[in-house]
Chain A
Amino acid sequence: EAGVAQSPRYKIIEKRQSVAFWCNPISGHATLYWYQQILGQGPKLLIQFQNNGVVDDSQLPKDRFSAERLKGVDSTLKIQPAKLEDSAVYLCASSPTGAMGADTQYFGPGTRLTVL
């Protein structure tokens, strides 16, 4: 079974520029997560989709971050405009059902963003 795919793997931009990340979850997985992992910290949930609906985006900086999940499959996370503090690894994960928190999450390799 193919894992979670993410692209690009690395991105370097200047502050105030925009950037987009793409995620393809494991086939058939209903739930998709985007996490931000700052160096030295654990992953922080930005947004969680159940099929193509948002179930939690409480920690998403909505003035600059946006995300969508097309037809309940692929997802795109966008930052516009980027700030220096957005430098981090952006992880995408998926899980079969969401199962009220009991699901195992399967992570992609991440996208390392550097904002100069």
Chain B
Amino acid sequence: AQSVAQPEDQVNVAEGNPLTVKCTYSVSGNPYLFWYVQYPNRGLQFLLKYITGDNLVKGSYGFEAEFNKSQTSFHLKKPSALVSDSALYFCAVNTGGFKTIFGAGTRLFVKA
């Protein structure tokens, strides 16, 4: 069975510092990996995805993520955090079947 883990409930970072939100996965087969962001009282918004090809994926709002097959990870990164990046971030995985599995989410708090 496929699964995805976000080991940190919350990440705190100062504005201007780099941020990392961690995601690891367990699947049989090649994964499709996604990051979504959720702001209060809103649905999820797509940030980026890895399907195939270059392991470094660039997405919206300056975010990027690196697919690491040996470590089964897909960590979300940004070189310089903004207060407006404060939100709930979800990692998700699909193996080419129908069901996408979401992690429990990581709350990012960026302090001014």
Where the two chains meet, the residues of A that have a C-beta atom closer than 8 Å to any C-beta of B are 4, 40-45, 48, 55-56, 58, 91, 93, 98, 100-102, 104-110
Contacts and interface: CB of A to CB of B under 8 A. Distances in A.
Contacts, number: 61
Interface of chain A: mostly helix, strand, loop or mixed = loop
A101 B42 contact: no
Contact of B96 (A4, A101, A107): A101
Contacts of B34: 104
Given A102-B51, A108-B43, A109-B41, A42 B97 contact: no
B17 interface: no
A40 B17 CA distance: 26
Interface of chain B: mostly helix, strand, loop or mixed = loop
A106 B47 CA distance: 11
A51 to B, nearest CB: 14
Q: How large is the interface on B (under 10, 10 to 19, 20 to 34, 35 or more residues)?
A: 20 to 34
Contacts of A4: 43
A42 B100 contact: no
Interface stretch (B69-77, B78-86, B102-110): B102-110
B44 interface: yes
7 contacts: A4-B43, A42-B102, A45-B99, A55-B98, A93-B43, A100-B98, A109-B43
B24 interface: no
Contact of A105 (B42, B46, B97, B103): B46
A48 B100 CA distance: 10
A102 to B, nearest CB: 5
Nearest to A91: B43
Given A42-B105, A107-B43, A109-B42, A48 B99 contact: yes
A108 B103 CA distance: 19
